[in-house]
Structure 1
Amino acid sequence: GSVVAAISRDLRSYAEGIGGREQMAIEAFSVALEVIPRTLAENAGLDPVNTIIDLRKAHSEGKSHFGVNVYEGGVADMKEGRVFEPSRVVEQAIQSASETAVMILRIDDVISSRSSMPAPDGADFDGLGM
C-alpha cells in the first residue's frame, strides 16, 4: 500500500493547483487509490480510518516507504520490513482499473443520450409494440 499511498498523496497535492471539476475528479481518483491500503487494514483487523490517517501523516512527513503493517498493526517502513511491491504490477492495476472506469462512463453516456432522445412518430414504447 505504500506505492499507492504515495501516488494518492501526489495526486492530492497536484489537485490543489487545478480548478473546477477536474480538481474534484483528481481528488476522487486519489481517494479511490486509498482503497488498497484501507482494504489491507480491514483484512488485518485494523481500524481502516485510523490506518489511512496514520499513513497520510507518515507520507506527509516524507516517509514515502511507509505502508500498512499487517503483522504488527499500524503503519511502518515497508522497505525496512523488506516488503516490496513490483511497480509494474501496481501500474498495470491502476491502468486497467482506470480504463474500465472510463469504459463504464462512456457506456453510461451512450445509454443516457439514447434515453433522452424523443421517440419516433407512431412508436408505442409503453406497450412495447404489442
Structure 2
Amino acid sequence: NVVLCQKGIDDMAQHFLAKAGIYAVRRVKKSDMEKLAKATGGTIVSNLDDLTDEDLGKAELVEERKIGGDKMTFVTGCRGAKAVTILVRGGSEHVIDEIERSVVDAISVVAVALEDSKMTAGGGATAIELAKELKKYAVEVGGREEMAVVAFAEALEVIPKTLAENAGLDPINTLIELRKAHSEGKKHHGLNVYTGEIEDMVKLHVIEPLRVGVQAIQSATETTNMILRIDDIIAAKQTEPPKGGGGGGMGGEMGGMEY
C-alpha cells in the first residue's frame, strides 16, 4: 500500500491512490530508491506491466514525520535490511558537517574491522609494545641505524602521550607506567582515559582495526621519507643595505698638502 516513484505523479493519479489507501511518494532521488530497495527487499521496476508480487518490498511502518520545518517519510521495521539511514541534526551547518564526518569515520572503521577481522589493543597499548620491541631491535642493529630505529620508536610513543594530554593527565608519568606494564609482559595494557589507570584494553573492549593503525604508520613513514629526501633548501638571503652615502671629509692637515 506504498508507492515510491523517482519521477513525478500526476495529481489525478495521486488522488485515486490516496482514495484507495495507497501512500504515494514522488520525486524520490535515485540513490534513495536504491537504498530503499536494499532495505525493503523490493525491486525497482520501470514498467507497471512487469510488476509482480516478488518485486514488492516489505516494511512494518511507513509514515510521514515533520523534522524541523521539513516533512520526511520514514520507512521502518524492514526485515533483513541491507541499508539504513542515519538522520544527523545540529544547531548549525558547521556542527552538522562535523557530526557527519565523525559518523562516516566511525562507520568506515567498523566496516574495515568486519572486512579484515583483525584487531589491535587501543589506549596506546599497541604503540608502546611496538616501541619496546623496536628499541630492543635497535641495540642489535647498532651504528647510525640504531639512532634511526630509536627515533622511530620514540615517534610511536607520541600516541599514548597525546592520549594522556587530551585526558588531562601527566604524559610523562603515563608513559613511564605504560613502559613498566609492558616490560612485565602486559602487552595489552593501555591508558584508560576515564580513570587514568593502566588497564587491559582487550578486557575493556577498547580495540581498533589493524588496518587503521597500519595505515597511520605507513602514512607517517612516507611523509617523513619525503621530507628527508629533499636535497636542497632554498633560503632567501637577507638583502644587504646599499653601500655608499654622503661624501667624506678631507683627511690630514691642510699644511701637509702639496699643490
More strand per residue: 2
Deviation track 1:71-103 (CA, whole Å, cap 9, x = no partner) reads 100311101111002111001100000000000
Aligned-partner Cα distance in 2 for 1:74–1:52? 12
Matched, 1:3 2:159: no
Please provide the CA RMSD for this pair. 1.6
Find the partner of 1:79 among 192, 198, 202. Answer: 202
Whichever structure has more helix as a proportion of its residues is 1
**CA-to-partner distance for each residue in 1:43-94, whole Å, 9 max, x for gaps?**
0011100000000111111100011110100311101111002111001100
Partner of 1:19: 142
For residues 97 and 78 of structure 1, what CA distance do their matches in structure 2 show?
24
Unpaired runs of 5+ in structure 2? 1-123, 241-259
- Contact between 1:3 and 1:85, CA under 8 Å: does it hold in 2? no
Q: Tell me, yes or no, if the aligned pair for 1:46 and 1:74 is still in contact at 8 Å.
A: no
Q: TM-score scaled by structure 1?
A: 0.82
Structure with the greater relative contact order (CA < 8 A, sep ≥ 6): 1 or 2? 1
1:59 aligns with 2:154: no
Counterpart amino acid of residue 139 in structure 2: E
Match of 1:37 among 160, 176, 179: 160
| 8 A Cα contact 1:54 1:74, kept in partner | no
Q: Distance in 1 between matches of 2:171 and 2:140?
A: 28
Choose from 181, 186, 192 the match for 1:69. Answer: 192
Runs of 4+ residues over 4 Å off in structure 1: none
1:101-126 CA-partner distances (Å, limit 9, x unpaired) = 0001112xx215x88xxxxxxxxxx8
Q: Do structure 1's residue 93 and structure 2's residue 220 form an aligned pair?
A: no
Return the offset for 1:5. 1.0
Distance 2:232 2:197 in 1: 44
Matched, 1:111 2:232: yes
* Letter of the structure 2 residue corresponding to residue 14 of structure 1: Y
Which position in structure 2 is the counterpart of 1:121? Answer: none
Who wins on radius of gyration, i.e. which is larger?
A: 2
Whole-Å Cα distance in 1 between the matches of residues 138 and 197 of structure 2? 27
Equivalent residue of 2:190, what SS? Answer: strand
**TM, length-normalised to structure 2:** 0.42
User: For residues 4-34 of structure 1, what are the alpha-carbon distances to aligned partners after superposition, in whole Å with 9 as ceiling and x for unaligned?
Assistant: 1111111011111111110011001100100
Query: Where in structure 1 are there 5+ consecutive unaligned residues?
Result: 116-125
Specify the alignment match of 1:119 in structure 2: none
Q: Secondary structure at the match of 2:206?
A: coil
Distance 2:184 2:223 in 1: 33
